[in-house]
Amino acid sequence: MQLMVVGGSDAGISAGLRARELDPTVEVTVLVADRFPNFSICGLPYHVSGDVPDWHQLAHRSLEDLEATGMRLLLDHTAHRIDPAVRQITVTGPRGHKQALGYDRLVVGTGAVPARPPIPGLDLPGVHLLHSMADVFAVQQAIKAGQPRRAVIVGAGTSAWRWPRRSPSRELEVTVVEQAPAAMPTVDPELGEVIGRELAGHGVRLATGVTVRAIHPDNGGLRVVGDPWFDEPADLVLVVVGVRPDSALAAAAGAELGARGAIAVDRQMRTNVPGVWAAGDCVHTHHRLLAEPAYLPLGTTAHKQGRVAGENAVGGEAIFAGSLGTQVVKVFELAVARTGLRDAEAAAAGYDPVTVGSVEFDHKAYYPGARQLHLRITGDRTTGRLLGAQLVGHHHAQVAKRIDIPATALFHDMTVQGLSDLDLSYTPPFGSPWDAVQMAAQTWTRAVRGGRPTQAATNQARP
Amino acid sequence: MQLMVVGGSDAGISAGLRARELDPTVEVTVLVADRFPNFSICGLPYHVSGDVPDWHQLAHRSLEDLEATGMRLLLDHTAHRIDPAVRQITVTGPRGHKQALGYDRLVVGTGAVPARPPIPGLDLPGVHLLHSMADVFAVQQAIKAGQPRRAVIVGAGTSAWRWPRRSPSRELEVTVVEQAPAAMPTVDPELGEVIGRELAGHGVRLATGVTVRAIHPDNGGLRVVGDPWFDEPADLVLVVVGVRPDSALAAAAGAELGARGAIAVDRQMRTNVPGVWAAGDCVHTHHRLLAEPAYLPLGTTAHKQGRVAGENAVGGEAIFAGSLGTQVVKVFELAVARTGLRDAEAAAAGYDPVTVGSVEFDHKAYYPGARQLHLRITGDRTTGRLLGAQLVGHHHAQVAKRIDIPATALFHDMTVQGLSDLDLSYTPPFGSPWDAVQMAAQTWTRAVRGGRPTQAATNQARP
């Protein structure tokens, strides 16, 4: 059987690997648009920031590793057209050579492209969108050639891009301008303030509630202008305002589109086109707390969906369990994490949410090095069901894996109160007899229900 | 209503607090045998080690905090006899004064006492068992007065005591002698080797597979002798071989005893004696993976059981959700964690266990500071059900909260394979697109089932 995969990033490679793992007789061909298969998009900012000096390291697997699994990778091959009636795909190779390749099963993993906000000046020299290795090389070239001293980063969101950990060069003054009222629009403003202080402490200026209107050339450099009252000179502008699904190839082949123009798939990652599956940042996503699919491009989801698509493309019956939007980012010394729904998202989905914040130590305060964790728990007032959690704290306070506790609880439809029943690990240097997440849950219950239990012997909202 | 609580440690205080939270009209009296209510037993070794210099800090709450909740605490009060027929308890106060106190409801939280192994010489000067603040003061006094240079610690177990993080004094040479074949009998020998290397790297000598036969006086000091071939001089000997439940008071009042002589309770923490509940290290424990209650004295469990007992003593219907034996300890720079059952425990309980080890990085290897995690996953060969997980790694590699992922999965009866469906957080500095726990689970599935799925769309072993 010929399995064709369009896209050599997380979803596509996961699909190919899973197919080969289950059926080593399947011939897998992966079309990679550039020369960088299986590169960690989430890792790009850490290369720009200098944390990861060698870009070669950003590959999850090397080309040799990938080929050793028996997959065939066609680098610098762009797919133009899928003809599902005859199961052919038209591609252009590195020297412009066009050819039609046949397939039995096809997995589309075309990913996302950076969103281009309607701002005049995006094409000026010195203005960069960031998504691919090519973008990264362009920024590095600009820094090397131009020795910029002032950078403006448009957009503080996290869905497609991460904060540079430190300035790309030591002398670079960085200003971040964000349309939302607080840093990190993915968490509540109460936590945004904690993040804003961290940025300020590292010399990064943050302008929130500002809509950028234009980027102008100015005196050999650039000028970023916005409402209200934003006017900053810059030698370098990075625009990182999120991504949109790259679904054109599939759509032209007859694939239905869903949320935000992403390819519509079922939970087996099947499109409506016979013989075509799709996965990753190009598809909409089943969300375990929402009735309708959402667009939630995340690397973790791309890996899971790719694995499901690969399994099913070779005859399996795997089902994507669904996303909860669990994510974490590093902001200097802070880790900023969330899972599930925030208050407004939950209300829009028909829940009756209440969000309660609390501050707890990550481990017993008497043991040296205890750090404050800022937590916010969202639960349903009527049913007591856990709907979401947000967590900000020092990156040594186990924030990333601590958010995985409510993430796993959400997966199982637990109540807020049920979190206290979990048997979690404890020793004074690492935790508390009730973990910070459990203390935050108890604070929620006290605030919403006066501490009273809802139902005896019940830790799940749905039986 | 008069609620009497015997014991001022985790279980007793939790019971009193919960009762007052739910019904502020309840009069709560807590009998505390010493002058140290609500002290963190798990924190004692960190005081001995010098990490926590001021012992006052070891209290979860101060006496003032506790009294501010409206509870009455009777310090230096020892309970001698419960007379359930007339609901009275006989106590001795600080000056030897005996009195009988009435109660309507009683919660027994008498805790545990250190096990005394059958070794001649335990009563010699310089030999210490460690469990209470008084024991700690005695060790400190011995160190101050005697300036010991060589210490032998008998027992490397973790159920009641923790490793001293560093020598109690800088010049102290420490030898640990353990009956089990590897360091830390709570995890598999394969992980014990990792721990042994960590100890050796910090100058702690470890003798495993040795049964101590006697402690002799020797030339003004001590001599610890064991089989095979163990004979070490010592100025100080600490014996930390676990604990046994302090259930005599309840037993004399007619309470049935269960596993290891602990007080038998149901999941509402009721004893068979009318009006008497019990919780913490003095009771046997419902284990979610075992048909029969086990003896598993842990601080986390004591807090949870105390809360359930306190709630039910004032008319509630709370049910203790059960333990999974989740625990973590710090061994110099390592964190050693486990949850659920090990292979032999699972086999004894009637499962068909397979345990598969793997080594994974805690976060993407390309981001600086990646550390190796040693994982062992135990699952049932027939059903695929997750039965346990063990995890050893650097304490900055989020080991303590990472074990909480399988702990939460076990709580919900997940399969090993189901772990891969969890939506966990990821960013290169903190994790991988598949968390290390998920990669270890996939390794288990490949080893046991050749990677093939068991049941489509199923992530729980039991529906």
Q: Test B452 with A22 for CB contact under 8 angstroms.
A: yes
Q: pLDDT by residue (tens digit) across A84-139? A: 999 999 999 999 999 999 999 999 999 999 888 999 999 999 999 877 788 888 88
Measured between CA atoms, how close is B339 to chain A, in angstroms?
8
Secondary structure of chain A in the HEC alphabet?
Answer: CEEEEECCCHHHHHHHHHHHHHCCCCEEEEECCCCCCCECHHHHHHHHCCCCCCHHHHECCCHHHHHHCCCEEECCCEEEEEECCCCEEEEECCCCCEEEEECCEEEECCCEEECCCCCCCCCCCCEEECCCHHHHHHHHHHHHHHCCCEEEEECCCCCCCCCCCCCCCCCCEEEEEECCCCCCCCCCHHHHHHHHHHHHHCCCEEEECCEEEEEEEECCEEEEEEECCEEEEECEEEECCCEEECCHHHHHCCCCECHHHCECCCCCCECCCCCEEECCCCECECECCCCCCECCCCHHHHHHHHHHHHHHHCCCCCCCCCECCCEEEEECCEEEEEEECCHHHHHHCCCCEEEEEEEEECCCCCCCCCCEEEEEEEEECCCCEEEEEEEEEECCCCHHHHCHHHHHHHHCCEECHHHHHCCCCCCCCCCCCCCHHHHHHHHHHHHHHCCCCCCCCCCECCC
* Residue A428 to residue B455: CA distance in whole angstroms: 41
Q: Interface pTM (ipTM) of the complex? A: 0.94
CB contact set of B348 (below 8 Å; sequence gap of 6+): none
- pLDDT for B160 equals 32
Report yes or no: B43 at the A interface, CB cutoff 8 Å. yes
Which residues of chain A are within 8 Å of residue B401 when distances are taken between CB atoms?
A: 398, 401-402, 404-405, 424-425, 430-431, 435
- pLDDT for B453 equals 65
pLDDT band at residue B452 under the 50/70/90 scheme: low
* Whether pLDDT at B462 is above 50: no
Measured between CA atoms, how close is B207 to chain A, in angstroms?
25
* Residue A202 to residue A458: CA distance in whole angstroms: 46
Which of B392, B408, B462 is most worth mutating to test chain A (most A CB atoms within 10 A of its CB)? B408
- pLDDT for A413 equals 97
Q: pLDDT by residue (tens digit) across A24-69? A: 999 999 999 998 888 887 787 778 777 888 888 888 899 999 999 9
For residues A327 and A141, which has the higher predicted lDDT (pLDDT)? A327
The stretch B23-50 carries a mean pLDDT of 87
CB pairs under 8 A between A and B: 256
* Residue A388 to residue B111: CA distance in whole angstroms: 37
- pLDDT for A462 equals 41
Which residues of chain B are within 8 Å of residue A441 when distances are taken between CB atoms?
A: none
Residue A93 CB coordination number (10 Å): 14
User: Given the structure tokens 């060790």, which residue do they identify?
Assistant: B139
The stretch A300-326 carries a mean pLDDT of 97
Measured between CA atoms, how close is B225 to chain A, in angstroms?
32
Report yes or no: B404 at the A interface, CB cutoff 8 Å. yes
pLDDT band at residue A160 under the 50/70/90 scheme: very low
For chain A, give the percent of residues with pLDDT over 90: 69
Which residues of chain A are within 8 Å of residue B162 when distances are taken between CB atoms?
A: 427
Of A402, A423, A435, the CB nearest to B323: A423
CA-nearest residue to A453 within chain B is B318
The radius of gyration computed from the CA coordinates of chain B, to the nearest angstrom, equals: 23
Cα A323–Cα A325–Cα A329 angle in degrees, nearest 5:
140
Measured between CA atoms, how close is B211 to chain A, in angstroms?
28
The stretch A386-410 carries a mean pLDDT of 97
Measured between CA atoms, how close is A160 to chain B, in angstroms?
12
Q: Test B368 with A51 for CB contact under 8 angstroms.
A: yes
Report yes or no: B431 at the A interface, CB cutoff 8 Å. yes
* Whether pLDDT at B99 is above 90: yes
Q: Which DSSP string do the residues of B115-170 spell out, in sequence order?
A: ---S-TTTTSTTEEE--SHHHHHHHHHHHHHH---EEEEE----SS----SS-SST
Phi-psi region of B248 (alpha: psi -120 to 50; beta: other; left: phi over 0): alpha
Q: What is the pTM of this model?
A: 0.94
Of A21, A364, A401, the CB nearest to B43: A364
Of A366, A395, A459, the CB nearest to B321: A459
Which of A413, A424, A446 is most worth mutating to test chain B (most B CB atoms within 10 A of its CB)? A424
* Whether pLDDT at B460 is above 50: no
Phi-psi region of B450 (alpha: psi -120 to 50; beta: other; left: phi over 0): left
Which residues of chain B are within 8 Å of residue A327 when distances are taken between CB atoms?
A: 425-427
b/e per residue B95-107 (b: at least 16 CB within 10 A) = eeeeeebebebbb
CA-nearest residue to B326 within chain A is A425
Q: Test A317 with B411 for CB contact under 8 angstroms.
A: no
Q: Domains in chain A and their CATH numbers?
A: 2-112+245-313 (3.50.50.60), 127-241 (3.50.50.60), 333-449 (3.50.50.60)
Burial class (CB in 10 A: 0-12, 13-18, 19+), A141: exposed
Of B40, B304, B400, the CB nearest to A425: B400
pLDDT band at residue A204 under the 50/70/90 scheme: confident
Report yes or no: A266 at the B interface, CB cutoff 8 Å. no
* Residue A247 to residue A278: CA distance in whole angstroms: 10
Which residues of chain A are within 8 Å of residue B368 when distances are taken between CB atoms?
A: 51-52
For residues A442 and B46, which has the higher predicted lDDT (pLDDT)? A442
- In one-letter notation, the amino acid at residue A25 is T
Burial class (CB in 10 A: 0-12, 13-18, 19+), A320: buried
Cα B422–Cα B428–Cα B432 angle in degrees, nearest 5:
35
* Residue B155 to residue B237: CA distance in whole angstroms: 11
Measured between CA atoms, how close is A310 to chain B, in angstroms?
13
The stretch B120-147 carries a mean pLDDT of 85
Give the HSE-up count for residue A416: Cα atoms under 13 Å, Cβ half-sphere: 33
* Whether pLDDT at A168 is above 50: no
Which residues of chain A are within 8 Å of residue B22 when distances are taken between CB atoms?
A: 451-452
